[in-house]
Chains A and B, each alone.
Chain A
């Protein structure tokens, strides 16, 4: 556990040292703030004291930002050879993968914490369904964790960060929208399988305030599979 935290701390430091963290925070808050308060189907347009519009925007901004954060994690270590020094230190592959995963998740959580003023503002405007807001945040965190684990996996595939980014988006877009679209057009068993695979289905039900174990299992399995594949990739390099 201690090793995981040491790795995370270094990664977080590196996010902030390289300006990546600031760019991500400013862009995320900018986009989500703009569409939540000023433009499109914003809070005033909907005329409801709810954060549904924010969750809808965050769902898409995080989808594009997360691969940009994760693409560096292993690709850069592989390219510069620093992975050799890292794995010959007393850390095992799992601690390494979990440390990197945790660092990115923490950065996302920091970004989400910074949007809490939205919640306070909305709560002052009218009666808010507090449960729905908290479960909406939980949904965003779970969804971020899923995409981080996909992003870490694609980053561990090659030495090239761009390959990591594109591949993460390519895999992500299926979960994000394509499975959902296909499920709408298909019926029967195949349709319901695709519907279950679609991330948006699970995200929407959570962000409406319904926390079902089925949804939790879905997110946790994506995270788990992504991390296992990453660990496999690391181990493969040493054989």
Chain B
């Protein structure tokens, strides 16, 4: 089921938490929602799950509008809210049973479904404990289990790996990737590496507006534009090398990083690469090229560039 968001606006008082946002998430796609605190990620997710009613705009899941068929839509969504609110005084098994019943799973299948979730989320040893007695990581697993129990076609995860240890994070990411192949998934996170590792597509949102949308490579290319290289050439005179580098056509700017080590920073002209030319030059002049490192723009830099100001 596709998620179609059109001109979504949500105001809290006079503040526009989400401002005229439109996007489509297709089946089999994992969309990562990035943004600084208060950017409108949670508000957008809450609108999709019908928890908040938008001021303007429409949201459709499959062919169902959130205004006309809220109850039908809720059946197709698995939702893990921010901070993972659960009934602390309820045992894990009872809670999962309650959820399964609410989703209208057949009585005869409830037991096997619960067992399946317990295995999938690694809750075997904790299933009879009260939720309040579990550590945060295990509570997060219960949150995931309740979101997945009815095998929903759409999954909305608000910071799914918060509070988990590194091993659990890897497991959950794997799980999300696996689920994401057949389902429509939106997840938000403030961990950029996580979004990069799990999502097919990244959307950066700032002050209620979408500021970037694409795969991580696309975002990189867009932000980077010019190739930047760090090179070190041994043997040979610094000034001589400097002059020789400036003569290469594709190079726009040559800059010293460290004169004593003969290392330079090189910026190529737009859409051009100077790696080959530098190598050839070194061969011709019999210099030894000991380092040639492309500067990769990190997602962090893109994120900061887009969301600062």
Contact = CB atoms under 8 A, between A and B. Distances in A.
Contacts of B99: 89
Given A88-B74, A90-B71, A81 B81 contact: yes
Interface string B27-45: 0000000000000000000
B103 interface: yes
A10 B98 CA distance: 7
Given A6-B101, A6-B102, A81-B83, A88 B51 contact: yes
Given A14-B89, A92-B70, A238 B51 contact: yes
Nearest to A91: B102
Interface in B161-216: none
Nearest to B47: A238
Interface residues of B, number: 28
A89 B103 CA distance: 7
B75 interface: yes
B88 interface: yes
A82 B86 contact: yes
Contacts of A217: none
Contact of B89 (A3, A18, A83, A91): A18
Contacts of B103: 89-90
Interface of B: 46, 49-53, 70-71, 74-75, 77, 79, 81, 83, 85-90, 94, 98-99, 101-104, 146
- Per CB-CB distance, the 8 closest pairs between chain A and chain B, nearest first, are A81-B85, A90-B74, A82-B85, A88-B49, A89-B102, A6-B101, A90-B75, A84-B81
8 contacts: A81-B81, A82-B87, A87-B50, A88-B51, A88-B77, A90-B74, A238-B52, A239-B53
Given A84-B85, A85-B146, A90-B102, 13 more contacts: A6-B98, A18-B89, A81-B85, A84-B81, A85-B81, A88-B74, A88-B77, A88-B81, A89-B103, A90-B75, A90-B103, A91-B71, A91-B102
